Structure formats: structure tokens, C-alpha cells
Structure 1
Amino acid sequence: MAERVTIEAAPRTVLGKKVKQLRAEGRLPANVYGKAIPSRAIEIDARQFARTIKSAGLRAMIELKVAGETEPRYVILRGIARAHGTGEPIHVDFFQVDPERPITANVPLRLVGEAPAVRDLAGTLLPGIEIVSVRCRPLDIPDTIPVDIAPLKGFDSVLTVGDITPPPGVEILTDPSVVVATVAKPRIRGQRGG
């Protein structure tokens, strides 16, 4: 299951061009919205946000605790506006999800184990896709899905999405015939005469 992180937030009354003052104070303007949920302007600590995203990643499920609200909001990061397109974050959008309603998410694959065709036959592992689309409840989104490469015993062996066993409660939506990994034969170096 994906790591759940907490971000403290406060209702934001500073709007429009005045948000520059917020940023100067180390606060990051943000909005939280969702299906049938009115958008709410909030502000968060810019340094805490940067640390959280660096450690948990952009796909983390976030428990957003807004001052004055009794229940935390479960949100995912929907967008980050950055200064000059690539600089420091200047605005963040959070999308509130229902923890009980399944959503679609992209999850990275992690190749694990050892392929006999690589170990015993000197082949080269050729990874295919790196990410699959899944459907599950927001709190069940895995950080990664491990794929055991031990079945790759020969050069004709292929692992596909259909060979992946997802964690409980997770349905993989990516086409089952898509190649995840295969092994290439070793190159034979030709000898040149002098």
C-alpha cells in the first residue's frame, strides 16, 4: 500500500495577486476540490510540502488536515504550478477522493529476482513497460508492483502484464498482452583478420 503522508493546511483568505505575500512568508497557496465537493482555497507550509513530496513521491495518498475541520481530507496531488515552468512550486491543486470508491492510478513496476536466461545463458534483460494502470481504492494504491523475473528461463521466454499477480484489492487495467520483460541473446563478436 502506498505510504500515506500528512500535510497540515489552513484556510486561505489571501487570493489573487496578493498571494505573493504568502509565498514570501514561506506559505504555498493551494486549492482542494473533488467530485461534488466545492473548491476550497488553502495554504500550506512550502518547506513541508517540498519535503513530503521528495520523500513520498508525486503519487502519494495525502491526509490533508485543514485547520478548523474535524475530519482529514484524503487527497492526491493533481497539479503543481512552478515559477517559470520549472522552478519552485508557486501553487498546488489537490483532488479529494472518497477512500471507499475505487479510482484509476498509474503504478510503477519493480523487477525482482533473477532471470535464469541472464544468469546461466549470459543474456541481457530487456525491460518492457515500467508503469501499469490500476483500479483500486485510494488507500490501497501500491507504491510499486513487484514482478518476479525468475520465469525468464530462455530467450523465447516473455513476461507480460497478464503474468503479474497484483496485490489484494488491486485490478490491473493495462492490456494483459503488453510485454513487461524478456531476455535477448548475447551478442557474438565477430573476429577480424589482419
Structure 2
Amino acid sequence: MVKMTAQKRESSNKNSSLTELRSQGNVPGVVYGFKTETTPVTVTEIDLIKTLRESGRNGVIKLEIDGTTKNVVLSDYQMDALKGSFKHVDFLAINMSDELEVAAAVHLTGESAGEKEGGFITQPNREVNIRVKPSDIPDALEVDISKLEIGDTITVGDIRGTVSYEILDEDDFILVSATAPRTQDEIDELDAGTDENAEPEVVGSEDSKEEDKDA
């Protein structure tokens, strides 16, 4: 289990103090959950990135706060869209005996029969929701597509019985499909439709402000 250190901080909604924290390479956050009072904390962004690389998005982290260690998972986070840095993180303290509901990434393995015939693989849903004990959280749900032919799909119902945890999505939740390539006539028709009567698209924009989530 990956370890990380956090420091308690004074709860503050002042943007200036939060901006100063971030300018020093820190990320404000909060810890809450199992046998835990809601506690404002800070972690260094370097440690946070390193920890998430090692543990994964859903991995359990041993978080040390002023000498006390708690088992936590990353519950939520906010990113700075321009800088690509963390703005805020939420850590959920957990009971290792209780099941959690988490989102697991869907990873495709193998080369499908449909691809070998010139078809295309589409993956409309890249995550599934599962219920699992913290110690059994998978790195990803792996789906073998080697037998997937053109016109076939793989849904949650097709793989539900192949995993040891509960998948919360419905049986008809599509994970991957193999589609036939477009014919030249279809491509020509699409090109013609794009060229004729094309109108410029007007995209409106409005400024939005996102307040920092804080305890």
C-alpha cells in the first residue's frame, strides 16, 4: 500500500491564501469519512502525482496526518484547466472491511477478428461502476476482444460472470463494438454533404468561475 504525508491546515475560503499554497507547490484538500472528522489538509503536488502513479486512481493510500495514519482513497479532485495542475483533492477515509463503489477503467486486450477484416473498434464506455472491497480494487477491468467480429458488441452482461466483484451497470451497457468500414460511396456522400450548403458554426462562450471546494 502506498504511503503519503499530509499536513493539517486552517480552514479558509480566502482565494489569496489558497493561491499562495498552490504557488508553493502544495494542493489544498480535505479528509473525511470513516471515523474521521472533516479535516482540511495540504499535500505537496509532487507527492500526490507520484502516489497516484503508483497506486492508480482507485488505489488505497496510507495517509499520515500529524502522526496519525488513515487508509484513504482519492474521492474527488479539481484541476486547473490551463495549468494542468491540481487545485483541490478530497480523500475519503475508509474501513478496509467495507465494500466501496468505484469507477474502474475498461482496458481492451487482443486484436479482434473484425479488425483483421478491416473493421473498426469503438469503445463508447471506458469505465464501469463496481462494488468491491478496498483490498480487491482492480487496476482495470480487462476485456478480451479477440473473438469480436464485425457487427458484434460486448456488454456488461457478457462479462459480468467473469469477474469476482459486482458490476453496478446494467447488462445492456455497451463496452465495445466492431463496426464495418464505410464504403467508398458512403465516404463520397459524406464529403458531398459537408461541402454543400456549409454554414459557419457560431460558438458562444461565457466566462465561468469555479469556486474552490473547501472544508
TM-score bracket relative to the smaller structure: 0.7 to 0.9
Deviates more, 1:142-151 or 1:179-188: 179-188
2:139 is equivalent to residue 143 of structure 1: yes
1:106 counterpart = 2:103:
yes
Instruction: Give distance in 2, aligned partners of 1:63 and 1:30.
Output: 16
Checking the alignment, whether the CA contact within 8 Å between 1:9 and 1:67 is kept in structure 2 is yes
Determine the structure 2 residue equivalent to 1:6.
3
1:151–1:157 CA contact under 8 A, matched in 2: no
Q: Which deviates further from its counterpart, 94-103 or 38-47?
A: 38-47
- Give yes or no for contact 2:2–2:54 (8 Å, CA) kept in 1: no
For 1:9, give the aligned amino acid. Answer: A
Identity of aligned residues (%): 25
1:134 offset after TM fit, Å? 0.4
**Structure 1 letter corresponding to 2:64:** K
2:118 and 2:78 map into 1 onto residues whose CA distance is: 47
In structure 1, runs of 5+ residues without a counterpart are none
Partner of 1:187: 182
Question: Residue type matched to 1:142 in 2?
Answer: P
Cα pair 2:56 2:139 within 8 Å, conserved: no
Q: Report the structure, 1 or 2, having the larger strand content.
A: 1
From the superposition, tell whether residues 86 and 102 of structure 1 become closer, same or farther in structure 2 (CA, over 3 Å): farther
Match of 1:162 among 157, 161, 182: 157
CA distance in 2, matches of 1:38, 1:20: 25
- C-alpha distance in 1, partners of 2:121/2:78? 38
Determine the C-alpha separation between the residues in 2 that align with 1:128 and 1:181: 6
Q: Spell out, residue by residue over 1:132-175, the C-alpha distance to the aligned partner (whole angstroms, 9 max, x if none).
A: 110001222112111001221x334221111125543x111111
The reply on whether 1:77 has 2:74 as its aligned counterpart is yes
Cα deviation code 1:11-65 (max 9, x no counterpart)? x254425566655654443321104531123332332123333555543322212
Query: Between Structure 1 and Structure 2, which shows a larger proportion of helix residues?
Result: 2
Q: Distance in 2 between matches of 1:140 and 1:55?
A: 16
Return the alpha-carbon distance in structure 1 between the equivalents of residues 162 and 104 of structure 2.
11
Within 1, Cα distance between the matches of 2:60 and 2:122?
Answer: 31
Q: TM-score with structure 2 length normalisation? A: 0.70
Gaps of 5+ in 2: 189-215
| Mean Cα deviation higher: 47-56 or 93-102 | 47-56
| 1:116 is aligned to 2:113 | yes
Aligned-residue Cα RMSD (Å) equals: 2.8
Of 121, 127, 130, which aligns to 1:125? 121
* 1:99 Cα deviation after fit: 1.2
Deviates more, 1:98-107 or 1:157-166: 157-166
Once residues 182 and 128 of structure 1 are traced to their aligned partners in structure 2, the CA distance between those partners, rounded to angstroms, is: 8
SS in 1 for 2:130: strand
Name the structure 1 match of 2:206: none
CA contact (8 A) 1:145 1:166 kept: no
- Mapped partners of 1:79, 1:104: distance in 2: 13
Query: What is the rounded CA distance, in whole Å, between the counterparts of 2:10 and 2:20 in structure 1?
Result: 9
